[in-house]
């Protein structure tokens, strides 16, 4: 199994997986499937979030992964 940080190229797959998960267990999320499926341009919104997370993962000019930040 390969574990890696999601990138901008993964946005559409991530969004489709999230919608599927919302359909299966809506109570596990703060957003319902109905709310998520009616968002205007959700792919662009997720891309912005991914870019922000990438910026947050830069520590002192060095790119680190989230697991390293938590340790």
3-state DSSP call for residue 69?
A: helix
Looking at the chain, the number of H-run helices and the number of E-run strands are 4, 2
Residues 19-68 have pLDDT tens digits of 999 999 988 888 899 998 898 888 888 888 777 666 555 555 566 555 55
Tell me which DSSP letter residue 60 carries: T
Confidence class for position 71, pLDDT limits 50, 70, 90: very low
**Does the structure show a pLDDT above 60 at 12?**
yes
Residue with tokens 């499937």: 33
- Using a cut of 0.95, tell me whether the model's pTM lies above it: no
**Residue 58 burial class via C-beta count within 10 angstroms: exposed 0-12, middle 13-18, buried 19 and up:** exposed
Q: Is 61 or 70 the better-scoring residue by pLDDT? A: 61
Rg of the chain over Cα atoms, rounded to whole angstroms, equals 14
């Amino acid at each position: 199994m390969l574990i890696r940080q999601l990138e901008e190229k993964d946005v559409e797959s991530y969004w489709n997986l999230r919608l599927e998960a919302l359909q299966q267990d809506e109570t596990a999320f703060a957003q319902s499937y109905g709310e998520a499926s009616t968002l205007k341009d959700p792919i662009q919104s997720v891309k912005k979030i991914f870019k922000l997370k990438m910026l947050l993962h830069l520590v002192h000019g060095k790119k680190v992964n989230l697991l390293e930040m938590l340790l």
